[in-house]
Amino acid sequence: MANIKSAKKRILVNRSKAFRNQMQKSQLKTTIKKFNAAVESGDKALATELYRLAVKKVDQAVAHGILHKNNAAHKKSEFALKLNKMA
């Protein structure tokens, strides 16, 4: 355990930021799983709506520094391919 006041504060801040990142990663993964499930079920309307939500979550993850922008572009491209194959 840290003895210096600033080091103690840094531990608390890092813990809260890690928790926030963990929540956003979890939400992102859940959204992606729901989109993939909709694609598998063949429901075009639901998949289209979840596609928009998944892209939004990926963009938010990039804005918060959770995903790299190239990784996000790869994911969004993958979503678009899956959605277009349904048509």
Which residues have a Cβ under 8 Å from the Cβ of 28 and sit 6 or more positions away?
57, 58, 61, 66, 67
Q: Which amino acid is at 82?
A: K
| 64: phi then psi, degrees, rounded to nearest 5 | -95, 5
pLDDT digits (tens, 9 = 90+) for 30-68: 999 999 999 999 999 999 999 999 999 999 999 999 999
- The answer, yes or no, to whether residue 87 has pLDDT greater than 70, is no
Cβ proximity of 51 and 79 under 8 Å:
yes
Which residues have a Cβ under 8 Å from the Cβ of 42 and sit 6 or more positions away?
86
- What domains sit in the chain, N to C, each tagged with a CATH number? 30-87 (1.20.58.110)
CA 3 centroid distance within chain = 36
